[in-house]
Copies of this chain bind each other. A is one copy, B any other.
Amino acid sequence: MKPVNVGLLGLGTVGGGTISVLNRNAEEITGRAGRAIQVTHASARDLNKQREFSTAGITLCQDPFEVVNNPDIDIVAELIGGIEPARELVLKAIANDKHVVTANKALIALHGNEIFRAAQNQGVMVAFEAAVAGGIPIIKAIREGLSANRIEQVAGIINGTSNFILTEMRERGLQFDAVLDEAKELGYAEADPSFDIEGTDAAHKLTILAAIAFGIPLQYDKVHTEGITDITPADVDYAGELGYRIKHLGIARRTDHGIETRVHPTLVPRKRLMANVEGVMNAVLVKGDAVGPTIYYGAGAGAEPTASAVVADLVDVTRALTSDPENRVPHLAFQPDALNDGGVLAVEDNETAYYLRMSAIDQPGVLAEITRILGERDISIEAFLQKEQEPDTTHVPIILLTQKVREGNMNAAIEAIEKLPVVSGRIMRIRVETLA
């Protein structure tokens, strides 16, 4: 059969990785796909840049629209990232009857509903495995591998930068800022790391995971998002004393009331496999009603791991080229008419256990006041640590683990406790998940 022609938008890290993998493993990929997959055209901002990979045999141009409008191209691989012009390019490619493969999580999370509708109408495929957890085939696992299940929960370590920082803080007892600087030097964090450390990147990915797990449209604006910037070495230590590790998780969970979607630092029991995913690695726990808990682990970023997913999508699209469009794997796992809005919950209606750290005057009756406020809001205490008073201070740290509670109740309790004269400053709260 004649080769499939790919037009590549962007010759950055992922674009380069994609070309390298397609070249190096050409024989294996052809053997799997049944025909060769070749990059014939590519666009890049700077055509004269020195690159570490060969672009031999590829027609290069500066204008990505030239690639998207080229009638010889079967599949467009969008690897430039960001919203515009990526969105316009993808929609133009679809309108030109081309299939699209993209690694762009922000684009899919924010504009996927529009893009998938256009693709559906045109009868073309948009594949986005590389948008979540790099080389781990997590989209495929949920959308196809677990298609028998009513999915109950998805919980993922889906931002390698945050996981690297938390791992280093724990293993070496370092402050957040010190590790962040190191991560920048190692290339694990961008010069502007805010997307990673404030949770935005994880929220994009969680939006996608929640949609394909629960059959709901993409709803990025409903994800409650917190990053790891407030985590202190003391919290990491106290969590350890209580038998937990702090992980930055994206969690989507089906409850009787609706679906929780949230991204935040989380205490996870130390013995769980998810608590032992270290450094820049990613892992996603998916719990289905038939299969029970399953975990998918691997590299969540980097040129070749991401290219692994991009190329797997190219093979998938190639394998499905001749299939009847209405029988293909649906973009969001469910057929468009089977999607429902799923009642994604407001953050106040989420239910979880909490780690609370506060600073209180070391005098009799303080703990009684705090537990009274918690008790009035149906919050039970699971464990309690009181640390020694530091020299020259009047306050001691008090650490509480609570049982599960509605977040709205916890907000009210925290507000009331912070108003107590014996408590100083803000209360640090970190959610606790058993992931069992």
**A256 is an interface residue with CB less than 8 A from chain B:** no
**A343 is an interface residue with CB less than 8 A from chain B:** no
The stretch of A74-82, A199-207, A314-322, A421-429 that contacts the partner chain: A314-322
Interface string of A140-157 (1 = CB under 8 A from B): 110111111110000000
**A30 is an interface residue with CB less than 8 A from chain B:** yes
Tell me if B326 and A34 are in contact (CB < 8 A). yes
**Within the assembled complex, what's the spacing in Å between the Cα atoms of A101 and B38?**
33
| Residues of chain B lying within 8 A (CB to CB) of residue A288 | 135, 308
**Within the assembled complex, what's the spacing in Å between the Cα atoms of A334 and B30?**
8
- By the criterion of a CB under 8 Å from any partner CB, how many residues of chain A are at the interface? 72
Most buried by B among A24, A32, A135, A333: A32
| Residues of chain B lying within 8 A (CB to CB) of residue A129 | 145
When C-beta atoms are compared, the residue in chain B nearest to A135 turns out to be B291
**A276 is an interface residue with CB less than 8 A from chain B:** yes
**Within the assembled complex, what's the spacing in Å between the Cα atoms of A34 and B331?**
12
Tell me if A294 and B146 are in contact (CB < 8 A). no
Copies of this protein in the assembly total: 2
When C-beta atoms are compared, the residue in chain B nearest to A138 turns out to be B145
| Residues of chain B lying within 8 A (CB to CB) of residue A144 | 137, 140, 144, 312, 315-316
Interface string of A111-135 (1 = CB under 8 A from B): 0000000000000000001000011
| Residues of chain B lying within 8 A (CB to CB) of residue A143 | 32
| Residues of chain B lying within 8 A (CB to CB) of residue A314 | 148
Q: Which 5 interchain pairs have the tightest Cβ spacing?
A: A137-B145, A31-B338, A148-B311, A323-B323, A135-B291
Q: List 21 A-B contacts (CB under 8 A).
A: A1-B326, A30-B338, A32-B334, A135-B294, A136-B291, A137-B140, A144-B315, A147-B315, A148-B310, A273-B297, A283-B295, A291-B299, A291-B304, A292-B298, A292-B305, A293-B299, A294-B297, A294-B299, A295-B296, A320-B323, A323-B323
